[in-house]
Amino acid sequence: MLKKLKGIGLLLVANLLISITLYIVFQVLANVVLPAFGIDIRGSVNEYMLLYAGVLGFGGAFVSLAFSKQFARAMLDCYQVTEPKTRQEEVVFQTVRELAQRLHVQMPEVWIFDAPDPNAFATGPTKNNAMVAVSTGLLANLNEEEVRSVLAHEMGHVWNGDMFTTTVLAGLMNTFVYFIAMWVRRMFEARDQAGLGIIASIVLQIVMSILAMIVINWFSRRREFEADRFAGKAYGPAPMISALESIQRYVEAAQVEYSTQDALATMKISGGTGGWMNLFATHPPIEERIAALKRLA
């Protein structure tokens, strides 16, 4: 609990510092850098707002990407594996090293975090500066071949540069949301309705952010299929199918135990729950991923 509270505090402080930094960057660009090149947007409202939206949208996304490893470690009760001491640590460490050597990339940091559910993720700013983490629940519920396939899936994300491409997409979506919200607010201010403009821009930003998440999550689901495909090519489709089936059994058992529709949806393991909620899932349903792997086989 203290670890999580500390992580949340660090994230809040980091976001505040990021906001201050981005505001300074915007002021320098708009008032110093661009005028030095003969580009003065200070008298043009639309261009001024677009630059500000771009700095906020892309700046926030790329700063989050740059510190993604640090943020992940701050939020988890985890430890890094550099010299494996157990058989499980050996499997994880050697698999990541083997795949990194195959791909000719710098070996990602290897971390294990304490969580009962079978989970894993990869993050980092570049394919040569990444980390791969697995949960204790993954190691407890999957056999060695299945663990290797899951690690290959995560290395597929690293190799495909999914963290970077998702960040670019998020930056574009954020820029669009910020720009439209600011534009609407300026329209109300021009009519001497500043208070109403603030409310309208906030509501519009919330609604458009939700719509942007649908686009970003759709892209994320496509990348999951590609990462599964990478794992299937690395070790064959069968172990990855078996890993997904093991995770599905855990999901079903958890649903019964906790009497919820999808006990692990928030952990981004089991994907969509069906219907329109699938639009907000970062992972496809496990059944669809298994079907895709069977087609590959």
Query: pLDDT tens digit string along 180-239?
Result: 888 888 888 878 888 898 999 899 899 999 999 999 999 999 999 999 999 999 999 999
**Of how many residues is the chain composed?**
297
Q: State the average pLDDT over residues 163-183.
A: 88
Tell me which residue of 50, 11, 47, 291 sits closest to 181, measured CA to CA.
50
CA angle 203, 209, 215 (to 5 degrees): 150
Amino acid 294: pLDDT: 94
Amino acid 261: pLDDT: 45
Amino acid 267: pLDDT: 39
- Model confidence pLDDT, tens digit, residues 38-69: 777 666 657 778 788 888 888 888 888 988 99
For the chain, what is the total number of helices (H) and then of strands (E)?
Answer: 11, 4
Encoded tokens for 33: 């850098």
Between 286 and 190, where is the model more confident? 286
Burial 35-55 (b: 16+ CB within 10 A, else e): eeeeeebeeeeeeebbbbbbb
Tell me which residue of 157, 97, 95 sits closest to 126, measured CA to CA.
157
Q: Is the pLDDT of residue 258 over 60?
A: no
What percent of the chain has a predicted confidence (pLDDT) above 70? 84
Asked if residue 143 lies in contact with residue 150, where contact means CB atoms within 8 angstroms, the answer is: no
- The whole-chain average pLDDT of the chain stands at 85
Residues classed as catalytic? 154
Could you give phi then psi for residue 279, rounded to 5 degrees? -60, -25
Asked if residue 68 lies in contact with residue 57, where contact means CB atoms within 8 angstroms, the answer is: no
Question: How many other CB atoms are there within 10 angstroms of residue 225's CB atom?
Answer: 16
CA distance 69 to 135: 16
Amino acid 244: pLDDT: 95
- Model confidence pLDDT, tens digit, residues 85-98: 999 999 999 999 99
In this prediction, residue 125 has a pLDDT band, given cuts at 50, 70 and 90, of: very high
Strand order of the β-sheet with 120-126 is 78-80, 109-113, 129-135, 120-126
CA distance 53 to 260: 40
Which residue in this structure is represented by tokens 């003065």? 40
Which residue in this structure is represented by tokens 């999580």? 4
Whether the model pTM is above 0.85: no
Own/partner contacts of 17-20, CB < 8 Å, gap of 24 or more, are 18/59, 18/60, 18/63, 18/64, 19/60
Between 10 and 266, where is the model more confident? 10
Q: State the average pLDDT over residues 140-150.
A: 96
